[in-house]
Amino acid sequence: MNINYAKPEKISLKNHPILNEKWVQEIIAQDPSIIGLGNLILKDKERIQPNAGRLDLLLQDEDATKRYEIEIQLGKTDESHIIRTIEYWDIEKKRFPQYEHCAVIIAEDITSRFLNVISLFNGAIPLIAIQMNAIKVGESTSLIFTTVLNQLTLGLVDEDEEVSEVTDRNYWEQTRGTKQTVAMADEVLELVKTISPDFELKYNKFYIGLANNGQPDNFVIFRPQRNMMRFELRIPKSPELESKIESTGLDMLDYDTRWGRYRIKLEKEDIKKNKDFILELLKKAHDEK
């Protein structure tokens, strides 16, 4: 079988006579999913900022809970674009506090120096850095986007092991859940132990977490209640995964975009019925951490 091969050629948009920042902006606006942040919707482009220029693109997730303030730069990252990216994020966050906001800088060359600088902000400022490569194949030009710095997933206050109030099993059996619902955490723990036998439950005031050799490792947490247990896995949001969860019949409550967790309602029979799939979810959460 003959397969035609066309050698790709990397080109510089900064030095290109025709393809420019406006062109990149239009390509992303037509299909925001190409930048790799999920199925986003175009909210606005060239958005005027009070006394601060124009925001290249404003994208929003399908759930209308999170917005991405995007600054595009051809060539290498520089101080002015980083400052502008953060400034636009801050303006939008103050104007529309009902949304979660994330600053995004897209550049052809994100240098190690500025990657280090950006990394200092990450956590205090939710910031994503994406490197963009323009590739020419024959007469066509394509854009490839690679996330080189992702938004730091923040931990809940009650997940801070240094300040979280440690409780015991009796607290959860008598106050928050029941012996039966706490025992469900034991069943899931047995699945976790197939990943590593050193995991054990760690009882905190707001959730039951995991420890591995005594060290907190909360890629999954449990919240037993009176009639069921809430099962929360730290996994990046994925439409494909959500479809798979729904197809099993498990009750997916929601996806907590702020903390990056799928929240699933588990009843006693769900664990035995979906043992293999729950183990698959646990392995995915463990590998993603």
37 and 16 in a common domain: yes
pLDDT of residue 165: 62
197 and 279 in a common domain: yes
The domain boundary residue, chosen from 86, 116, 149: 149
The domain boundary residue, chosen from 83, 115, 149: 149
The answer to the question of residue 57 being in a domain is yes
215 and 89 in a common domain: no
CA within 13 Å, CB half, 211: 12
Give the CATH number, domain containing residue 134: 3.40.1350.10
The answer to the question of residue 73 being in a domain is yes
Residue type, 174: Q
145 and 26 in a common domain: yes
109 and 14 in a common domain: yes
59 and 27 in a common domain: yes
The answer to the question of residue 3 being in a domain is no
206 and 93 in a common domain: no
The answer to the question of residue 233 being in a domain is yes
CA distance 41 to 33: 8
How, if at all, do strands 100-109 and 127-137 pair?
A: parallel
126 and 202 in a common domain: no
Q: What is the pTM of this model?
A: 0.55
257 and 190 in a common domain: yes
The answer to the question of residue 136 being in a domain is yes
CA distance 118 to 105: 10
Concatenate the DSSP letters of all residues of 186-242 into one string.
HHHHHHHTTT-TTEEEEEBSS-EEEEETTEE--SEEEEE-SS-EEEEEE----HHHH
The answer to the question of residue 185 being in a domain is yes
Of 76, 73, 72, give the one whose Cα is nearest residue 59.
Answer: 72
Residue 232: phi and psi, rounded to 5, are: -120, 120
pLDDT of residue 161: 46
219 and 140 in a common domain: no
pLDDT of residue 158: 43
164 and 52 in a common domain: no
The domain boundary residue, chosen from 126, 149, 172: 149
pLDDT along the chain (289 residues), means of 10: 76 87 92 89 88 88 83 87 89 88 91 75 80 88 88 49 68 92 96 94 91 90 92 91 91 82 92 94 89
167 and 77 in a common domain: no
pLDDT of residue 157: 41
Give the CATH number, domain containing residue 214: 3.90.1150.20
106 with 70: CB under 8 angstroms? yes
The answer to the question of residue 2 being in a domain is no
Of 243, 249, 241, 163, give the one whose Cα is nearest residue 204.
Answer: 163
The answer to the question of residue 89 being in a domain is yes
- How many independent structural domains does the chain possess? 2
Domain of residue 15: give its range.
Answer: 9-149
How many of the other CB atoms lie within 10 Å of CB of 131?
18
For residue 129, the cross-strand partners are 105, 149
